[in-house]
Amino acid sequence: MRRRIILKPTEIYKDYKKNNADILRKQHFGDAVSELKSMGVITAECLKFSEDIEKIYLCEEKMDTIYEWLEEVYGVVPQSSIVKKIKKIMETYVCAGEAAQKYRDSILAQTEDPRKIFDPERIDANMKMLCFLENNTEELYLREASILVYGDSKWFENHNCDEVCAWLRNFAGMSGEEYERNDAVLAHYHIIPAEQEIFIKGDWKIAWEQYVLETDRFPGGIAIASKDVRSIRRITVNASSLLTVENKTSYQRLKNHNMAMMYLGGFASRPQIEFLKKVIRDNPDVMYQHFGDIDIGGFLIHRHLCKKTSAAFGLYCMGVRQLSDERFQGCLKALTENDLARLKGLKEDAAYREVLEYMEKYGVKLEQEIVSYYIGRDAEIDPYDCHIYGGCGESS
């Protein structure tokens, strides 16, 4: 036995039956009911001895008419039509790779839930890129991949890059701190954003087979294309220590002739790791340090750096002393709920425990730009509050 779909006016306008109900709203409601009745898609009952509507009944045999009207007048596409469209799209991807198939299965499973809202065009776009990436064996720039798939060099970046990368990251079980950037995810599919550059400054000597570059003549630093890193024969750091710097402003602000510097820009990329491994191999006696934001991301970047290079980088100016420095109090930011959640796991690592306990106690974090500003004003790096990191990301 089929149940009738019934609607009461109070479900649309809760004051419909009240004496102080808005007469104009009731009139508009009545007009709408009259129009739908004339279309033959509903019937209605009125209260005895009154023109007020008591119940509205949907004529289920007229559902196709209702859907056509909703789509034509209001652009509302029925869920059943959307699901049919999605299933038809997915039929064209039956031979897709494993990640794309998992995505396909996930979407089809979700279509069973009537509460879910879908965008078929976006789902199709995601499938196109997933299939392309899993079949790709050619080294491509990001915008080349975009134009090959969508006919538009910027479409992927502007529309669904984050969504596709998030799916691939989750599919592969990639650790969050290592693959924070989309670049690292796409690199597994031979996609690079653009030719990457290694930014360094200070006193370096970079030797290729037939050329030697001495950087001390360039106080602002230089950039080396990542493709040229592989052919480097030897790297000499003419300083007692090397500092990797998370953010560009801090890298540009710091000036020191007794310390070599390298800009990271966040989690170290593959070319940066490759370069640093060459540096460490050729300069075993140099002290290696890292300077970044005093927040969860900053420490995860440091841990990733240590793990990937297998070197014990010291934490430079990333401690309690900076967080409690009077000069920086106006720049402290509050920890978010996400910060607190991520902090708990990281606090198990002895290298970060002291500063993280302070951050947790006072609910604060700090960007490195204010620290580098004060250090840079003296035109000399003051290595206060620097300690060597022990364990390369392992709990101790």
Instruction: Quote the pTM value.
Output: 0.64
239 plus 368 within the same structural domain: yes
Which pLDDT does position 177 carry in this prediction? 53
Task: Give the CA count within 13 Å in the CB-facing half-sphere of 376.
Answer: 13
155 plus 231 within the same structural domain: no
269 plus 341 within the same structural domain: yes
272 plus 379 within the same structural domain: yes
207 plus 337 within the same structural domain: yes
pLDDT per residue as tens digits for the range 372-391: 998 877 654 454 445 444 43
User: Within a domain: residue 22?
Assistant: yes
Of 158, 192, 226, the residue that ends a domain is 192
Distances from the Cα of 359 to the Cα of 176, 295, 320, 321, angstroms: 21, 8, 8, 12
181 plus 225 within the same structural domain: no
Query: Could you write out the DSSP letters of every residue in 234-256?
Result: EEEE-SSEEEEESSHHHHHH---
Of 192, 216, 233, the residue that ends a domain is 192
pLDDT per residue as tens digits for the range 97-138: 899 999 999 998 888 877 778 889 999 999 999 999 999 999
User: Within a domain: residue 395?
Assistant: no
92 plus 134 within the same structural domain: yes
69 plus 94 within the same structural domain: no
112 plus 16 within the same structural domain: no
- Give the pair of three-digit tokens for residue 18: 């009240």
User: Within a domain: residue 52?
Assistant: yes
User: Within a domain: residue 396?
Assistant: no
The average pLDDT across 68-96 equals 76
Sign of CA dihedral 265, 268, 269, 272: positive
16 plus 31 within the same structural domain: yes
315 plus 237 within the same structural domain: yes
**pLDDT tier for residue 396 given thresholds of 50, 70 and 90:** very low
The CATH number of whichever domain residue 210 belongs to comes to: 3.40.1360.10
184 plus 245 within the same structural domain: no
CB 245 within 8 A of CB 262: yes
Domain range for 221? 197-387
Of 160, 192, 224, the residue that ends a domain is 192
The domain tally of the chain equals 3
Which pLDDT does position 176 carry in this prediction? 54
